[in-house]
Amino acid sequence: MKNKQSIGHAAALLTIMIWGTTFISTKILLKDFQPVEILFIRFIIGFMALLFVCPRRLYTTNRRQEAVLALAGLSGICLYYLLENIALTYTMASNVGVIISVAPFFTAILSHLFVKSEDKLRINFLIGFVVAMTGVALISFGGRELALNPMCDLLAVLAALVWACYSILTRKISSFGYSVILTTRRTFFYGILWMLPALLFFDFQIDLSRFINMTTILNILYLGFGASALCFVTWNFAVKVLGAVKTSVYIYMVPVITIVTSVLILKEPLTWMSVIGTVLAVAGLFLSEYSGKRKKEDMQNEFTE
């Protein structure tokens, strides 16, 4: 079990390392694509990749399970990314980055309310949350004045809440006992279906001429195969093994990965604010994870009926 937990932590870390670098691909693609176009294309690729890897069909035992999968597709695939992208369109990216990092706190609250668990909201989690959020703020703002846009910042808060809902639903899905690849693929399917009505409200275009550029193709494939197909499988596996709360705290690492990547790849300057913020974000993660005296047996989460 201890070895499986280590694999779960490794899966969560790998996921966050890739998700933390996707901003580069997205930034490049936004020159030719709208956010909703990138979103739709990447999950179509992700769905096809998972279908190729595991062509078996998922047979659920009842409509309730199917409904949970559909809600996961609505929350984690459709609503989260739409809310985040709309917020990014009208407010500062740094605002969104900080607000989205609140997701682990929402996950802990929802888990405490709806999941039967021996784990309680410990003081170390709250302290770690405050320390990590301080670090995230230093990384994102770097000394700049916080520019609020109440309506759009609210969308970012809703995005964080929606992701917390997705994490709880993922934990519930893991209790069904199906293959992680199959459930992730079914979630993608529902997410794409939920996405279709949204395409009608945006200027979605089918222009294949935009795919003649190799840079565009490589970035699309990175988002589709890496950030979507691979990462959602590894994230859902981590949630299955570690639980929703423990996995969600890795979100604190996203700004850290982002700042490191921007320095190494985009050659952006590294400030003392970023260094201090990185240290605090990592410290917050370890504080949130620290549970004091280790128990002989790992605690298992069971959902209320």
Long-range pairs of 27-33 with CB within 8 A, sequence gap ≥ 24 = 28/215, 28/216, 28/219, 29/216, 29/219, 29/220, 29/223, 32/210, 32/213, 32/216, 33/210
206-239 pLDDT per residue, tens: 777 777 888 889 999 999 999 999 999 999 999 9
Position 295 pLDDT exceeds 70: no
Q: By the 8 A CB rule, do 258 and 93 touch?
A: no
Q: Match 């959020």 to its residue by tokens.
A: 133
Please state the length of the chain. 305
Please list the residues that pair with 116 across neighbouring strands: 302
Helix, coil or strand: residue 293: coil
pLDDT-derived band at 134 (thresholds 50, 70, 90) equals confident
| Percentage of the chain exceeding pLDDT 70 | 81
75-85 pLDDT per residue, tens: 999 999 888 87
pTM: 0.80
Who has greater pLDDT, 297 or 111?
111
Position 16 pLDDT exceeds 70: yes
DSSP sequence for 187-227? HHHHHHHHHHHHHHHTT----GGGG-SHHHHHHHHIIIIII
| Percentage of the chain exceeding pLDDT 90 | 31
Position 293 pLDDT exceeds 50: no
Interval 243-248 mean pLDDT: 84
Give the residue among 224, 259, 217, 209 at the shortest CA–CA distance from 29.
217
pLDDT-derived band at 50 (thresholds 50, 70, 90) equals very high
Backbone angles phi, psi at 199, to 5 degrees: -65, -30
Q: By the 8 A CB rule, do 110 and 164 touch?
A: yes
Helix, coil or strand: residue 300: coil
